[in-house]
Chains A and B, each alone.
Chain A
Amino acid sequence: MLKKFIFLFLTFCLLYVSMMAAAKAFWVTTAPGRLERNVIDKDVHTLVIGPSNGEHAWNDSIIPHSCNLCNSGVSLGVGYNSLKWVMEYNDDIHIDTVIVCAGFASFIYLEDKKLPIPGASEEIFSILDYKNFLKFYSTKLSFWKSSFTSLPLWWFSSRKLGGGYHYIDREKVNHPRSYDIINAIIKSFGGKYGVTEKKLYEKCSYQISYLRKIKEYCDSHHMTLIILSTPVYKYHELLDDTGYRQMMRNVLGDSALIADYSRFHLPDLTYYGDLEHTNYKGARYFSHHIAKEGLKLQYAIDYIK
């Protein structure tokens, strides 16, 4: 009986350690785990934050002095805290530019729904401790609304398991589901083709509040904030983004810098992952273009024209 007990105890320990190791391996290989290991190189001067649009478009191995911290499926709240965490963790770096990949897709109602519950405070995001994988999971699981959508996304955007933005080679531009999403967005904003600024404010208050926080953070740290819209396929033929443009100007001010590449032409459909995202090939093409030409910027006051 003593042997049986010891065997049972060892089996328990073995299974427990294996499950912990698997969880840790998953975390290390997925996008959030990348942050933990991401001790930023000293020659990095540009940080890129935001959701999948940025993750799938900005190849930081091509664009010099930049580091892509974007994560598929995350809200700007997480992006804000990622930025703060990286700045606190790497106290010897000199970041002069922060690029927020916040295209129109970042302000659709689904993004706001990713926040845990109405009234969620910044404290919730701040406990997203990327240094501790156990805490990361438990906190992530407490984001019960977003867990169902973003955790699988993280899995698929993993560098080793799903490929990450460096390896995504899917081509789903003409997939019916892409158009279903557009229709869902149109429906959610009242079933009209155009999305008004008022509707955006109503539907995306938390995303907007974190955009403001990011701006405040950049201002206080003397960093230039740039809002980057990454290439999308026909998106603007399906949706009128005038309301979005007005909102960006009102939130960030007339002198905010916008880099609108949403209409950037990629050679053909094989460069797109889907309507909103570039794939690996598209990211390389886009990134080479940025590396060569630099970002073409305009003030928000001009952006709405």
Chain B
Amino acid sequence: MVVNSINFLLFFIVVFLVYYMPVVSQRKNLQNIWILITSYFFYGFVDWKMLPLLFSVTVVFYLLGAWLKASMNSNKSRLASRITTLGVVLGVGLLLYFKYLNFFADSFASLLQAVGISASWSTLNIVLPIGVSFFTFKLISYVIEIHRERIQPAESFIEFATYIAFFPTILSGPIDRPNKFLPQLRKNHQFDYNLAVDGCQQILWGIFTKMVIADTIALITTEAWTNFSSKDASYLLYAVLLSPVQVYADFDGYSNMAIGVGKILGFNVTKNFNHPLLARNVSEYWRRWHMSLTSWITDYVFMPLNIAFRNLATLGLFLAICINLVVIGLWHGANWTYALFGFYHSLLFIPLICFGKFGKNKKLKQGRWGLPLMKDLAMMILTYVLVAFGQVIFFATDVPSISSFISTVASGSWNMSFLFDISTLLPIPMAIFLFCLDWTSRKKEFAIQRASRIYTNKTINILILDLFIALIVAFFGYNGQGSFIYFNF
């Protein structure tokens, strides 16, 4: 049940109506119970076999949280540290088992074979639970945050289970942090008209970017990634340059839908993107891209590593960044290509570290006629191109296919005739349109948010704009053809 489907709409209408029924809305517990039931229904609808796993890990981490707090209250700091370590090991172990076991075992067997030791490994048939990368990170951060005394443990199991299984974010994030989300579950949510309308528009905008922009570009990029050996070099390069826009529109589209659904229910879900197309260097790019993941990894991986390596000065900083980005890469899946993807991005940090520009980003300034400054624009384009080449590694099925792709581009023919086909040409204005919107709406959460100067907040204007977008989606969107890229992670 994807968010942009009729099934979800019907499901959500029921959720919404019951959630704001006077009997339910006046009691926070009832609202939380209702969200929990519907979240489990939603997750079960997608993959019912994984419901016991979700439930059991929730119980385990809830008990761990309670035990941790009790040990902290009785000043047993060593025990508290051990419980936290246990929580982290369990969380990481969960990921390792479901996501990486076969990968590491295969890699290890290959390594042994490379040094002449015969090793065989029969691959286990492990089914990857949907959203495991997202809810595991929530579980881990819960115990760490309790140990760091930034949060109090959940007041009830219902509260904690609702936080972990919250249906708008369980499949593909954003990864909500407990210190921001748990307090929201401790109050009852009265209907907020402005927040709900804002949420609806955010959903609509998400549907637009996903179905009109991402899925249109996907027709070209998917063809390039899957059949690159039969394509011209020019076509492949074109697909590479379009791919960052596709992934952005796809994932930002989903995030907007999730955040919008949360808003209608009165929740402020963590923002996931901050106009990454406007990034002027790779450091800024990672601060604007998949923010809920990068901030999580920064807090729990990068910061400890940076402190640990501080004696190594610049090299230590690079090592911390490198490990940080490789972890981000591997978070996407069990494949060396993802590790290489992270390593490639870490290499892009070297000039920033060497010239002392790491972490020092000036605010974006507006030049003449409201346009970006030429220098900023040039840096944005350069960053975009560098990120685009990283997509070759990201989308490659294995490491050898990266070099095959590059050699096909390097030695292939240059036939630009495909650009004469309007359906192939269409992504270019779409990408420019998205970039322009990112620029003009850089101070807003999403492009059509109501603070815009283009139209006032009158209901009729909102209705007209929303209808216009809905019709564009109906006529130009690829209905039901494209699944979300980040569902795979």
Contact = CB atoms under 8 A, between A and B. Distances in A.
Decide whether A and B assemble into one complex.
yes
Interface stretch (B57-65, B94-102, B463-471): B463-471
Contact of B475 (A1, A8, A16, A141): A141
Contacts of B192: 1
A127 B193 CA distance: 42
Interface stretch (B178-186, B387-395, B420-428): B420-428
Interface in A195-211: none
Interface in B452-489: 459, 462-463, 466-467, 470-471, 474-476, 479
Contact of A5 (B197, B426, B467, B476): B197
B420 A134 contact: no
Contacts of B196: 5
Contacts of B417: 119
Contact of B423 (A1, A5, A19, A127): A127
Interface string A130-161: 00001001100111100000000000000000
B422 A124 contact: yes
Contacts of A124: 421-423
A123 B423 CA distance: 9
Contacts of A137: 475
A9 B200 contact: yes
B463 A142 contact: no
B191 interface: yes
B471 A142 contact: no
Interface string B14-29: 0000001000000000
Interface string A1-30: 110110011011001100110000000000
Contacts of A117: 420-422
Nearest to B25: A2
Nearest to A133: B475
Measured as residues with beta carbon below 8 angstroms from the partner, the interface class of chain A is 20 to 34
A15 B475 contact: no
Contact of B421 (A12, A19, A121): A121
A144 B463 CA distance: 27
B463 A8 contact: yes
Interface string A245-265: 000000000000000000000
B422 A142 contact: yes
Contact of A116 (B422, B471, B475, B476): B422
A194 B470 CA distance: 51
A134 B197 CA distance: 27
Given A19-B467, A134-B475, A138-B476, A5 B422 contact: no
Interface string A109-120: 000000011111
Nearest to A132: B479
Contact of B422 (A15, A16, A120): A120
Nearest to B191: A2
B191 A1 contact: yes
A2 B192 CA distance: 8
B467 A16 contact: yes
A214 to B, nearest CB: 21
Contacts of A12: 463, 466-467, 470
Interface residues of B, number: 24
A270 to B, nearest CB: 41
A136 to B, nearest CB: 10
Contacts of B423: 123-124, 127, 142
Given A19-B467, A134-B475, A137-B475, A5 B193 contact: yes
Q: Count chain B CB atoms within 10 A of each CB in A1, A2, A19, A118 and give the residue with the most.
A: A2
A270 B470 CA distance: 47
A15 B467 contact: yes
Interface in B183-220: 191-193, 196-197, 200
A117 to B, nearest CB: 6
Nearest to B466: A12
Interface string A220-241: 0000000000000000000000
Nearest to A116: B422
A15 B193 contact: no
B14 to A, nearest CB: 14
A138 B481 CA distance: 16
B421 A142 contact: no
A280 B476 CA distance: 37
B193 A119 contact: no
Contacts of B466: 12
A8 B197 contact: yes
A78 B57 CA distance: 58
B426 A16 contact: no
Nearest to A15: B467
A9 B199 CA distance: 12
Contact of B20 (A2, A134, A142): A2
Contacts of B420: 117-120
Contacts of B467: 12, 15-16, 19
Given A16-B467, A134-B475, A5 B421 contact: no
A121 B425 CA distance: 13
A5 B476 CA distance: 28
A32 B131 CA distance: 44
A134 to B, nearest CB: 6
Nearest to A123: B421
A4 B462 CA distance: 14
Contacts of A127: 423
Q: Which of B20, B196, B466 has the most CB of A within 10 A?
A: B196
Interface in B32-84: none
Contacts of B193: 1-2, 4-5
Contacts of A121: 421
B36 to A, nearest CB: 22
B191 A11 contact: no
A119 B470 CA distance: 32
Interface string A171-190: 00000000000000000000
Given A119-B417, A119-B421, A142-B426, A19 B471 contact: yes
Interface in B332-350: none
Given A117-B421, A134-B475, 12 more contacts: A5-B193, A8-B463, A11-B463, A12-B467, A117-B420, A123-B421, A123-B423, A124-B422, A124-B423, A134-B474, A141-B475, A143-B422
25 contacts: A1-B191, A2-B20, A4-B193, A5-B197, A11-B463, A12-B463, A12-B466, A15-B467, A16-B467, A16-B470, A16-B471, A116-B422, A117-B420, A119-B421, A127-B423, A134-B474, A134-B475, A134-B479, A137-B475, A138-B476, A141-B475, A142-B422, A142-B423, A143-B422, A144-B422
3 nearest A-B pairs in the assembled complex, by CB-CB distance: A119-B420, A1-B193, A138-B475
Interface of A: 1-2, 4-5, 8-9, 11-12, 15-16, 19-20, 116-121, 123-124, 127, 134, 137-138, 141-144
